[in-house]
Amino acid sequence: MKSLTIRHRILVSFAVVLVVMSVIAVIAYAWFLQTQQEATEVEKGILPDVYHSTEIMMGQMTAHSLLQEYALQDSPSDRRALESMIATNRDRVQRQMDDYEATIFSDIDKQNYAVVKELANQFRLAETAVLDTSRTALSKGETPNEGPAIKNTVEPIFLKLQSALQAMVEDHRGEATSATQRISSIVKTAEVGLSVGLLIALGLALLLGYQLFRAITGPLTRLVDAVQLMRQGDFSERLELRRRDEFSVLADGFNAMADDLTTLIGQVQRSSIQVGTSITEIAATSKQQQATATEIAATTTEIRATAKEISATSNELARTMNDVSTVADQTAAVAGGGQAGLTRMEETMHQVMEAAGAINSKLAILSEKAGSINQVVTTITKVADQTNLLSLNASIEAEKAGQYGRGFAVVATEIRRLADQTAVSTYDIEQMVKDIQSAVAAGVMGMDKFSEQVRRGMQEIQQVGGQLFEIIQQVQGLVPRFEVANEGMQAQATGAGQISDTLTQLSEAAQQTVESLQQSTLAIDELNQVSSGLRSSIARFKLRA
Amino acid sequence: MLFLSFSMGTDRYLIDVHQIEEVLPRIGVKVLPGAPAGVVGLVSYDGIPVPLIDVTLLALGRPSEARLSTRIMITRYPSENGEQRLLGLIAERVTDTLERDPADFTPFGLEPGSPPYLGPVASDGPEIIQWVKVETLLSEEIRSALLRQAHMGG
């Protein structure tokens, strides 16, 4: 139900009521058709039957009374008149019977009619017999007496016929009554059906109308409430209808409008705050500028005084410069003396280096000699080894010789002892030579390092000499520059006077600036008031958090 | 009785000088590639090629150091058929002889399981010296190899 649109709801409500009414109308139309059929049958079938059967009955009764009247007449003329009337009545009855025969449909009717027709024929035959008898009597001149004949033959037939006709009429009346009852029952059913249908239609119309009313008034009330709230400046509320119809579209539109307005008012609020802040800043800045302008005025006065001092100082400096120039000349002369001393020192250094080279070559010779001693020691070692081997073999041979070799064995052992001592001594010599060699190597390295240091010292002396030369040149070059500086100082003194004049003008301009800044402060105050008004008027809007 | 002393590692060993023909410097050694373990080559003695065994290699598994005191001892040993054969032994510190009475030597008690060439021991001051018998230095393998060589030579 929530997803139906209002348009659909209205259409559906009307359609439902219309359908119920149409059904009622169709049923009522069927009932009326039935009633009409029944009425037609009464009109076309039953009423003519009643009419004709009544007519036939009347005709028969007329025929019976005419016959009785005929029997009562005495004059022949009257009898002839009555005879013609009987004939006329007979024709009429015959016509009525023919008409009636055309309207017979039911079996009961057919049986009834067959009985009536038979009896009517018998009555006519009996009547014709009575009339013929009387006419014969008349022609013979006798007074006819029809009474007994009528009473015996005609009367019983007539009574039978009368009862048969009566039954037929009764039958038709019964039919008419039942048809009328059917009509009235249909009419009653139609009355009840129409009342019920109308009640249902009315109930449906009320129910659907109420639904429609609720579907429209519920969201409408909420919309009106939301609009009322928004009129009071509260933009924090949003509509949540939880349905899919025109109202939800309306609510979405309302929400979007509220969002846009919220954004807009939020921006306006922020902007107004920013404007307020900016104005405050501008006011502060303007006051600062005012203070600065005042300070500038004061400062220019101070600068003017300082410029005058500068002028005086410049003159003093120019005098001092002349003194400095003299001192520079003396410095150049002293530096020249220093350079000559350095040149002598360099020569001495060269001699030291040559001596170091001589020491190095002596050390090399020493190292070479130590190597020769080493070779000799190696040779001695080999000889000692050979001696040892020799003595070993000698000992072995002496042992093998037994008693004869004993003296030899002692000699061999002694030789081996000497060889061992030689080996130990050569080992000591070897160690000493190695010590000498390492000492010589250390001496060579030390001399190399010493030579390197002397060389570096010489380079440094050369550098110092070069630097002293530069100092002399620069000091000599300083003198003309001092004169240039002197001229500059005088120009500076003149410039300081000009600065003083310019500063007087600047001071006046600063005063004018202060005045215009006071005017701008007044304008800023007005702007501040306008901004406060804007902020207070926008503050009554309440936004969503 | 006079013994020639030599070293294996830090210990001193003795050989009876009666078994020694001559002591030679360690020069003129011809290397034999693929020789049995312990055999290092041949040396010529009086024109005869004599097989050389490195005692240090045999006992300690490393060759003797190349020093002047490392020398070759030409020894004699009796072969199976009674004739005397020559064998060169390379050993370290072959530099001294020692006069000892054979009665000074006593068995050291661990002979089973020790190499067969280790003989009885004696003390010389603080250290223990051991007698080495030349004929037991040769293992079966070396002995058969030398025999084959002798047959081919003879």
State how many domains chain B has: 1
Q: Which residues in chain B are closer than 8 Å to A395, comparing Cβ atoms?
A: 2, 17, 97
The residue among A446, A441, A451 whose CA lies nearest residue A367 is A441
Are A382 and B68 in contact (CB < 8 Å)? yes
Contact status of A396 with chain B (Cβ, < 8 Å): yes
Three-state DSSP class for residue B83: coil
Contact status of A417 with chain B (Cβ, < 8 Å): no
- Cα angle for residues A414, A418, A420 (degrees, 5° grid): 115
Are A385 and B2 in contact (CB < 8 Å)? no
Q: Which residue has the higher pLDDT, B126 or B145?
A: B126
Dist CA B2 CA B97 (whole Å): 7
pLDDT of B71 > 90? The answer is yes
Q: Around B98, how many Cα atoms within 13 Å sit in the side-chain half-sphere?
A: 22
Domain that holds residue B74: 2-153
Contact status of A426 with chain B (Cβ, < 8 Å): no
Identify the band that residue B151 occupies on the pLDDT scale cut at 50, 70 and 90: low
Dist CA A19 CA B71 (whole Å): 143
Q: Which residues in chain B are closer than 8 Å to A385, comparing Cβ atoms?
A: 25, 68-69
Give Cα A70 to chain centroid, integer Å: 120
List the structure tokens of A348.
């001495």
What integer pLDDT is reported at residue B5 of this predicted model?
93
Give the nearest chain A residue to B97 (CA atoms).
A392
Dist CA A276 CA A269 (whole Å): 11
Q: Which residue has the higher pLDDT, A75 or B150?
A: A75
Three-state DSSP class for residue B65: coil
The residue among A166, A190, A42, A165 whose CA lies nearest residue A114 is A165
Identify the band that residue B21 occupies on the pLDDT scale cut at 50, 70 and 90: very high
Dist CA A47 CA A53 (whole Å): 10
Tell me the per-residue pLDDT of B72-82, one tens digit each, with 9 for 90 and over.
Answer: 999 988 777 77
Contact A169, A53 (CB under 8 A): yes
Give the distance from residue B1's alpha carbon to the nearest chain A alpha carbon, in angstroms.
8
Identify the band that residue B24 occupies on the pLDDT scale cut at 50, 70 and 90: very high
- pLDDT per residue as tens, chain A (545 positions): 556 788 888 898 899 889 989 998 999 999 899 889 988 888 887 888 888 888 888 888 888 888 888 888 777 788 888 888 888 888 888 888 888 888 777 788 888 888 888 888 888 888 888 888 888 887 887 777 777 778 888 888 888 888 888 888 888 888 888 888 989 998 999 899 899 989 998 999 999 899 889 888 888 898 899 889 888 888 888 888 787 888 888 888 988 988 898 888 888 888 888 888 888 888 888 888 888 888 888 888 888 788 878 877 877 887 787 788 778 778 877 877 888 888 888 888 888 888 888 888 888 888 888 888 888 898 998 999 999 999 999 999 999 888 888 888 889 999 999 998 998 888 888 898 889 889 888 988 988 898 899 889 888 888 988 888 888 888 878 777 877 887 887 788 788 778 878 887 887 888 888 888 888 888 888 888 888 888 888 877 777 65
List the structure tokens of B69.
């005191």
Are B4 and A396 in contact (CB < 8 Å)? yes
Q: Which residues in chain B are closer than 8 Å to A393, comparing Cβ atoms?
A: 22-23
What integer pLDDT is reported at residue A2 of this predicted model?
59
Dist CA A265 CA A544 (whole Å): 11
Are A396 and B94 in contact (CB < 8 Å)? no
pLDDT of B39 > 80? The answer is yes
Are A396 and B23 in contact (CB < 8 Å)? yes
The CATH number that applies at residue B17 is: 2.40.50.180
Q: What are phi and psi of A147, to 5 degrees?
A: -50, -60
- Asked if the A255-538 domain carries CATH number 1.10.287.950, the reply is yes
Identify the band that residue B154 occupies on the pLDDT scale cut at 50, 70 and 90: very low
Q: Which residues in chain A are closer than 8 Å to B89, comparing Cβ atoms?
A: none
Contact status of A382 with chain B (Cβ, < 8 Å): yes
Give the nearest chain B residue to A400 (CA atoms).
B18
Give Cα A202 to chain centroid, integer Å: 48
Residues of B with CB under 8 A from a CB of A: 2, 4, 17-18, 20, 22-25, 68-69, 71, 94-97
Are B23 and A416 in contact (CB < 8 Å)? no
State the complex-level ipTM: 0.84
Dist CA A169 CA A177 (whole Å): 12
Beta-bridged to residue B29, according to DSSP, are B43
- Cα angle for residues A68, A112, A110 (degrees, 5° grid): 135
CATH architecture of A6-219: Up-down Bundle (1.20)
Dist CA A499 CA B2 (whole Å): 126
Contact A444, A360 (CB under 8 A): yes
Give the distance from residue A460's alpha carbon to the nearest chain B alpha carbon, in angstroms.
57
Dist CA A395 CA A411 (whole Å): 9
Give Cα B119 to chain centroid, integer Å: 13
CA quadruple A346, A352, A353, A357: dihedral, nearest 10: 160
Are B17 and A396 in contact (CB < 8 Å)? yes
Q: Which residues in chain B are closer than 8 Å to A399, comparing Cβ atoms?
A: 2, 17-18, 97
Q: What is the 3-state secondary structure (H, E, C) of B123-140?
A: EECCEEEEEECHHHCCCH
Residue A59 class from Cβ within 10 Å (0-12 exposed, 13-18 middle, 19+ buried)?
Answer: buried
The residue among B34, B27, B147, B36 whose CA lies nearest residue B90 is B27
What integer pLDDT is reported at residue B75 of this predicted model?
92
Give the distance from residue B97's alpha carbon to the nearest chain A alpha carbon, in angstroms.
7
Give the nearest chain A residue to B71 (CA atoms).
A389
Contact status of A416 with chain B (Cβ, < 8 Å): yes
Mutate to test the interface with A, among B15, B18, B19, B68 (most CBs of A within 10 A): B68
Q: Where would I find the H helices in A141-245?
A: 147-149, 155-231
Where do the domains of chain A lie? 6-219, 255-538
Q: What is the 3-state secondary structure (H, E, C) of B16-42?
A: EHHHEEEEEECCCEEECCCCCCCEEEE
Query: Helix crossing, A47-72 with A155-231: angle to 10°?
Result: 160
From A382, A389, A396, residue closest to B20, measured CB to CB: A396
